Structure 1
Amino acid sequence: MHASNHPAPAKSKPFFALPVRVYYEDTDAAGVVYYANYLKFCERARTDWLRAVGFGQQRLAAEQDIVFVVRAVQADYLQAAVLDDQLEVITTLERLGRASLVFAQKILRDSQVIFEALITIACVSLGSRKATPIPPAVRAQFATLV
């Protein structure tokens, strides 16, 4: 997990922080971050979170025959980010289900929340493309982070 200058989320759960710089390619015609790119920033943070807890996505696919896919997103866009903003994506694991995870993610600029989302992730068998239980070793590691 990455140390941060920002306080941990309210429940003092373990969290992961990913710095993100806004580039020209992230903005729309109005010069603000295109709405879908906030979700891309969150995806990057979840991928790096997974790697930080010891489970790279390629390794999980190759060794466990699983992938994690987005099932649902609840997002609130609170303020616009613009070119050259330095953002930080804060990720916490809120809930661990049998075959799913729920992440709370916030994007901050200068310690102020500008975007927040609850993202439900399903564990899916790579071979069958159907929901499958999270493997015991992976689940045990995740359980320490809820």
Structure 2
Amino acid sequence: MTDSLMGYLEAKGHIYPLCVFYEDTDAGGIVYHAQYLAFAERARTAMLNLLGFSNRNIAERHKVAIAVRHCTVDFRRAARLEDRLKVESRLIRIGGASLGFEQKIMRDGEELVVIEIFLACMSLETFRAQRLPDELRNVFSDYLDMNEG
């Protein structure tokens, strides 16, 4: 499935293109550090949509939410106002109640920011960890990068 607003799926991942807007930058025209996490969140949400899910339908059907458990961010180079970027997302781990991603924010093939983020599936009733729904696990397992997993 393709949708230009959602980027596109590749063999073992997802590519999400974006443009840096004024609202993404600080007074010097440099992307504000927290904005990289927002870019990564948008990319993961787009990937989920292209795989046939949304955060809303997961919550309604399975009574679970996917929440950030842990992340590390390696800032290597700055992005600037009006840069054309892409977020490359790869699934690197599937656990009983968790997913792990590596996301690279790139400009012209250069890694600007590398994020490793681990998400936990949690019950919306108890707010405790809950096993990933099988349909989500099955779809994501096709995208697990075994070089990292």
Q: Normalization by structure 1: what TM-score?
A: 0.90
Listed as ranges, the gaps of 5+ residues in structure 2 are 2-7, 145-149
Structure 2 counterpart of 1:68 = 66
The ranges of structure 1 where at least 4 consecutive aligned residues each deviate by more than 3 angstroms after the TM superposition are none
Quick check: 1:142 aligned with 2:106?
Answer: no
Structure 2 counterpart of 1:21 = 19
Structure 1 counterpart of 2:126 = 128
Structure 2 counterpart of 1:116 = 114
The superposition leaves residues 79-133 of structure 1 with CA deviations (integer Å, 9 ceiling, x where unpaired) of 0001000000000100000000000000000111111010000001112111100
Quick check: 1:59 aligned with 2:57?
Answer: yes
The root-mean-square deviation of aligned C-alpha atoms, in Å, is 1.3
SS across alignment from 1:35: coil
Structure 2 counterpart of 1:85 = 83
Offset, 1:30 = 2.5
Listed as ranges, the gaps of 5+ residues in structure 1 are none
Task: Tell me how far apart the structure 2 counterparts of residues 73 and 42 of structure 1 sit (CA, whole Å).
Answer: 11
Q: Normalization by structure 2: what TM-score?
A: 0.88
Structure 1 counterpart of 2:5 = none
Task: Tell me how far apart the structure 2 counterparts of residues 92 and 142 of structure 1 sit (CA, whole Å).
Answer: 10
| Aligned length, in residue pairs | 138
The amino acid of 2:116's aligned partner reads L
Structure 2 counterpart of 1:94 = 92
- Give the percent of matched residue pairs that are identical in Structure 1 and Structure 2: 40
Task: Tell me how far apart the structure 2 counterparts of residues 91 and 133 of structure 1 sit (CA, whole Å).
Answer: 22
The amino acid of 1:29's aligned partner reads A
Residue from 47, 50, 58 that aligns with 1:49: 47
Structure 1 counterpart of 2:104 = 106
Task: Tell me how far apart the structure 1 counterparts of residues 78 and 37 of structure 2 sit (CA, whole Å).
Answer: 14
